[in-house]
Amino acid sequence: MSKVAVLMGGRSAEREVSLMSGHGVLAALRAKGVDAHAFDPAERELSGLLIEGFTRCFIALHGRFGEDGTVQGALELLGIPYTGSGVMASSIAIDKTMTKRVAGRGLPHAALPPLNGNNATADVLKAVSDELGLPMIVKPAREGSSIGVSKVAGYAQMSAAVTQAAALDADVLCEQFISGDEVTCPVIGTGDSARALPVIRIVAPEGKYDYQNKYFTDTTQYLVPSGLSAEEEQAIQAIVLKAYRVLGCRGWGRLDVMIDAATRKPYLLEINTSPGMTGHSLVPMSAKAAGISYEDLCLQLLSMATLDYAQSDKPGGELNP
């Protein structure tokens, strides 16, 4: 694999988490004998990848400018294969609204079209509250790690929740609050060869799976085996595989789902195309339950690094998928 860059850090609100993911991946690849090096796009120009002779990139960036198709597009232009989904799938999946419009067709989800943070008048907020009912979840359309997410229990809280989310993204997504089991399911591979790993059921303190409880506490429980019935687990895996394939994701990803406690109906929340790889992260946890070590997982993901298009060697040749 020659010289590998682990892209980490970046300029998103998830920079801190990305650095933790990146350093974990870096150590794992080096333990496997890979000539891997840290590379922070917030501190170095991407052209340095060519100048310094890197031949592959492991993308451990999270959020905007790393998980949204921008870095993927730059690497396509540089001709350096990279891990994870390509430009189109990454740009759709980072946007929770677009994910539901594309992958959500035929799959259950519980959200309205996004509000524009600049035009969320009192009348608009009341109409949203009336349509979805309370409580509801308000979040930025293009952020991760539960950053900027609020649970709104009463109409009086709506304005502050939308303001908080709009500070991170002009588009603000409002979703029906679903009381029940929160689960996540990683996927590895591409197309028909993609396979779902074991489902993880998440039990957070007071049901609050926020940024702090995701990364900086040890009180959140991650249950794998999930404790769901075999039928429910298989249904979740079928849903996430369908969404993953519809979006054209490749390499790996993690899909989050809520199961309504009363009806046991699953609802697709979002797709992560560059999931966390920290000590608290869920893809390594699920992979371990499937018999794949952290180091082997990193090496397997790196081995699938590719480009959307491989250019022919002939001048003026066609681009071949």
Pick the catalytic residue from 21, 256, 267, 281. Answer: 256
Dist CA 21 CA 7 (whole Å) = 10
**95 annotated active-site:** no
**211 annotated active-site:** no
**317 annotated active-site:** no
Containing 4, the helix (H) or strand (E) segment is strand 3-7
Pick the catalytic residue from 63, 148, 251, 276. Answer: 276
Pick the catalytic residue from 21, 90, 272, 274. Answer: 272
Q: Which residues contact 270 (CB under 8 A, 6 or more apart)?
A: 93, 96, 99, 144, 255, 256
Strands 252-260 and 115-116, bridge-based pairing: unpaired
Pick the catalytic residue from 270, 274, 286, 294. Answer: 270
Q: Which two tokens stand for residue 259?
A: 């199961």
Dist CA 189 CA 192 (whole Å) = 8
Pick the catalytic residue from 14, 40, 76, 169. Answer: 14
Dist CA 1 CA 316 (whole Å) = 28
Pick the catalytic residue from 254, 281, 286, 308. Answer: 254
**145 annotated active-site:** yes
* Strand partners of residue 90: none
**209 annotated active-site:** no
Pick the catalytic residue from 82, 215, 244, 294. Answer: 215
Cis peptide before 135 (omega within 30 of 0): yes
**272 annotated active-site:** yes
Dist CA 214 CA 219 (whole Å) = 10
Q: Where are the alpha helices (DSSP H) in the chain?
A: 15-31, 48-51, 70-78, 87-93, 96-102, 122-132, 158-166, 211-215, 230-247, 282-289, 294-303
**Contact yes or no for 74/91 (Cβ under 8 A):** no
Q: Which residues contact 199 (CB under 8 A, 6 or more apart)?
A: 183, 184, 185, 224, 226, 228, 233, 236, 237, 286
**270 annotated active-site:** yes
Pick the catalytic residue from 18, 21, 90, 145. Answer: 145
**171 annotated active-site:** no
Catalytic residues, by residue number, are: 14, 145, 215, 254, 256, 270, 272, 276
